[in-house]
Structure 1
Amino acid sequence: MLKGEWGYQMKDYGARKIKVAVVGGGAAGLIAAIAARYNGAGVTVLERMDRVGKKILATGNGRCNLSNTDLDIAHYHGTNPKFAFGALSRFDFHQTMELFERLGIAWKVEEGGKVFPVSNQASSVLDVLRHELETLGVETRCNAEVKEIEPKNSGFIMHLGDGSRFKADRVILATGGKAAPQLGSNGSGYLLAQKLGHSIVEPFPALVQLKLAADFLKQVSGIKFIYLAEIQVAAKPLARAEGEILFTDYGISGPPILALSRSAGEHLRRGEPVTLRLNLINYMSRDELELFIIKRLQQQSHKTLSFSLVGWINKRLIPVLLREAGIVDINKPAGQVTVAERNAIIDILQDWRFEVTGVNTWQQAQVTAGGINVREVNQKTMASKLVPGLFLAGEVLDIDGDCGGYNLQWAWSSGYVAGVGAATL
């Protein structure tokens, strides 16, 4: 039976030497509590919501995208993304999956290396985590909002919202960021960290929908297409993604847009103009598209221009595309389309550009970009460099990942490393 640091079982669950308080009962907090208990600490989780793990239930559209088989550091972001390598290498993909297997999760790998439980239920992941906490004797206190963490006498006093206090030798701050506040992340961890002397990289929503400047959005709201999308700043391409994209009454959504939103949000925050470029027909070259349209207009020459595109382009999108191409009479005979008009249609189909005016709110965001400055945290242990006995984990730190399981893996890795550190250092 394994015991200590990276082991997953203890010989003596009753051995309690160091008292650890975990502030926040999300993914990072729960795994930190388990790791600290594996290493002999007495552990209490303080969660301000009425139950732990609410955000876990919402991940992966309710299926829980546990991790990704490709954990290249390029999938992580922040002012110092290489910081993430410390925890990701100390508690890696294989160790994470080994732990969840032991807890009872059978898992599978889907497109793009995304890892899900075979049950396709996020609730099963939370269930096995809660069961392990109960088995280990970890105390979980819900409706316990920590208002202040006071270092005192080689330990800490937590001041709770109900006026009570809780003492601990070590504290793990795993309160999450500001994304999806309805699930528990309200940014309170930043204030707690600032009071202890930590600095904050200004947070902004990531993995979120984009707002666009266009007067026709209500006309096309709800239309889905397989597009290639690209974010540009000062005419320079920064990031691109491909997949199903959805027009909305405020702008645009879909997995590719969420993937691009971090780059867009970062530049918008700096006051830089951001452009979204869509290629609706990315499966053809421009020359191939031109030949296709010439043939189609010839075959449909007896029809109006707008009707000649029905059966190829979403019919709700056709009038918008043609007007965006600058064609005044969209009901002219298809056979009378000029070369200039045809080229304008091709331009719109393969190079449609929008001004990005902003990102959606924290309510809709899946992840927080920004957070506690990682330069003030030990990369290998998640220990604060400013406050002895304080450890930090998860989304509260200035590390965020791409869509596809990267953020949950960061929570598991940083949480586990923080738990081990809090119990053993």
Structure 2
Amino acid sequence: MPKGEQIKIVVVGGGAAGLFAAVIAGHQGAQVTILEKNQRVGKKILATGNGRCNLTNMDMHISHFHGMNPKFAYNALQAMDNIQTIDYFEHLGITHKVEEEGKVFPFSNQASSVLDVLRYELNRLGIETIVEAEVKEIRKQSEGFDILAKNGAKYFAHRVILATGGKAAPNLGSNGSGYALAEKLGHRLIEPFPSLVQLKLAEPFLKQIKGIKFDGDAEIIVQNKTVAKARGELLFTEYGISGPAIFQLSRTAAEKLKKSQAVWVKVVLINHLPKDQLVSYVNKRWQDNPEKNVSFSFVGFINKQLVPVLLKQAGIEDLNKPVALLTAREKEDIINILQDWRFKVIGTNTWTAAQVTAGGIDVRDINQNTMESKLVPGLFFAGEIMDIDGDCGGYNLQWAWSSGYVAGKNAQTY
């Protein structure tokens, strides 16, 4: 490249990571073009945080990130941390607020406001955005790259930032197309699988309890050992179980299933009482009203739609039996299932339901300090396309901002 020539950067993908990488590269003085296959950029941003955009989280510890080598994310998360992210978006006009579990949202409660300020910044910096431009091939040349689009258009760049996302939420444009582009350039792929997604269960009675929502605990059990646990809202569905707590556990469950291991989810319906207090409380209910049948004895304590299924699972065949006639073993089995109800996990919901992709381009071939390929000089990566994914709660967007920042900065200064 001739000395003094303005660096041309093409960002492939107009999601959170791609937009942020483009803005940062633009701040550095590069000539930046975004190629987006959808009709508009930032569609997935609009869907994050239930339409409110969970920008980041105040608890930004590396333990919230996953992959074959989650520590790969550490340097990028330091280069653009949660506080810097909040400050940057405040500078763009996004007043923030912190909610439960450290989740950070725009004060407007509108994800669209985040996309609006990013698009404003793109326009201010003169960054060109070309939509309906799906890239089919990237060819490395001596001076840079030729980028070929499916519509026949051809582009040249000194540097390329691949920010095409993963496979989660294909209705928003994520179809994994970037994997093939990277593989053709020599990169390895860690097989992707859905994460932050509902779990499918094997039980035949799910239609009877679908729609029941409650706050409880959930654990993933493999070989009779707890390998992950979470607390929060749980929701039974006709195919299995959902809710924020399940989303947090879904990656672990999916990973174990991929290894052909038997996976169980343990549900704790009553998590606010220790076992001895629960025993005392339930026995008192029965002692106060010994004539009530066992099913009706739980009305006012547990969702009544759940009671007959729960009792059947506890081995109680006669739901009309007066509680005074329950045996000690039957009482023990009922109380046990309130704090240890286990379901066989047979899979996860589909990519359409997943919030994020686990797996992706192997980070062993990427420089963790610059996000540049170790195999192809001038090729950079940002966001979900890489084998890094975060917990629910703003971590995946923070990875998009952080990796986009590092890629955008280094693509220009390289």
Deviations 1:15-53 (A, max 9, x none): 971000000000000000001111111000000000000
CA distance in 1, matches of 2:5, 2:95: 32
Unmatched segments (≥5 aa) in structure 1: 1-14
CA distance in 2, matches of 1:104, 1:213: 48
Deviations 1:267-304 (A, max 9, x none): 11111111100111111122111111111112222221
Q: Say whether residues 1:169 and 2:153 are aligned partners.
A: no
Match of 1:340 in 2: 329
Which of residues 334, 343, 359 in structure 2 aligns to 1:370? 359
CA distance in 2, matches of 1:215, 1:197: 46
| Amino acid aligned to 2:122 | L
Which of residues 128, 131, 142 in structure 1 aligns to 2:117? 128
Q: Say whether residues 1:53 and 2:78 are aligned partners.
A: no
Structure 2 SS opposite 1:305: coil
Is the contact made by 1:28 and 1:412 (CA closer than 8 Å) also made in structure 2?
yes
Structure 2 SS opposite 1:97: helix
Q: Say whether residues 1:267 and 2:256 are aligned partners.
A: yes
CA distance in 2, matches of 1:210, 1:288: 31
Match of 2:196 in 1: 207
User: Identical aligned pairs, as a percentage?
Assistant: 63
**Shift, 1:153, TM fit:** 2.5
Match of 2:381 in 1: 392
Match of 1:406 in 2: 395
| Amino acid aligned to 1:268 | L
| Amino acid aligned to 1:290 | V
Is the contact made by 1:181 and 1:362 (CA closer than 8 Å) also made in structure 2?
yes
Is the contact made by 1:21 and 1:168 (CA closer than 8 Å) also made in structure 2?
yes
**Shift, 1:139, TM fit:** 0.1
Which of residues 371, 377, 382 in structure 2 aligns to 1:382? 371
CA distance in 1, matches of 2:125, 2:136: 27
Q: Residues 343-362 of structure 1: matches in 2 within 5 Å?
A: 343-362=332-351
Structure 2 SS opposite 1:25: coil
CA distance in 2, matches of 1:158, 1:356: 43
Is the contact made by 1:227 and 1:243 (CA closer than 8 Å) also made in structure 2?
yes
CA distance in 1, matches of 2:104, 2:276: 40
**Shift, 1:244, TM fit:** 1.1
CA distance in 2, matches of 1:303, 1:232: 35
Which of residues 159, 172, 192 in structure 1 aligns to 2:148? 159
Q: Say whether residues 1:257 and 2:240 are aligned partners.
A: no
Which of residues 243, 266, 274 in structure 2 aligns to 1:277? 266
Regions of 4+ moved over 4 Å = none
Q: Residues 6-405 of structure 1: matches in 2 within 5 Å?
A: 17-405=6-394
| Amino acid aligned to 1:198 | H
Match of 1:420 in 2: 409
Is the contact made by 1:115 and 1:405 (CA closer than 8 Å) also made in structure 2?
yes
**Shift, 1:69, TM fit:** 1.0
Structure 2 SS opposite 1:358: strand
| Amino acid aligned to 1:351 | D
**Shift, 1:410, TM fit:** 0.3
Is the contact made by 1:203 and 1:371 (CA closer than 8 Å) also made in structure 2?
yes
CA distance in 2, matches of 1:169, 1:163: 20
Structure 2 SS opposite 1:343: helix
Unmatched segments (≥5 aa) in structure 2: none
Alpha carbon RMSD of aligned pairs, Å?
0.9
The change in CA–CA distance for 1:43 and 1:265 in structure 2 (over 3 A counts) is same
CA distance in 2, matches of 1:305, 1:92: 54
Structure 1 SS opposite 2:193: strand
**Shift, 1:308, TM fit:** 1.3
Structure 2 SS opposite 1:108: strand
Is the contact made by 1:16 and 1:41 (CA closer than 8 Å) also made in structure 2?
no
The change in CA–CA distance for 1:225 and 1:398 in structure 2 (over 3 A counts) is same
Deviations 1:126-181 (A, max 9, x none): 00000000010000000000000011122111110111211111100000000001
Q: Which moved more, 1:32-41 or 1:286-295?
A: 286-295
**Shift, 1:371, TM fit:** 0.3
CA distance in 1, matches of 2:20, 2:311: 54
Structure 1 SS opposite 2:357: strand
Structure 1 SS opposite 2:380: strand
Deviations 1:338-357 (A, max 9, x none): 11100010111111011110
| Amino acid aligned to 2:19 | L
**Shift, 1:94, TM fit:** 2.0
**TM-score, with structure 1 as normaliser:** 0.96
Structure 2 SS opposite 1:292: helix
CA distance in 1, matches of 2:335, 2:110: 44
| Amino acid aligned to 1:372 | I
| Amino acid aligned to 1:142 | V
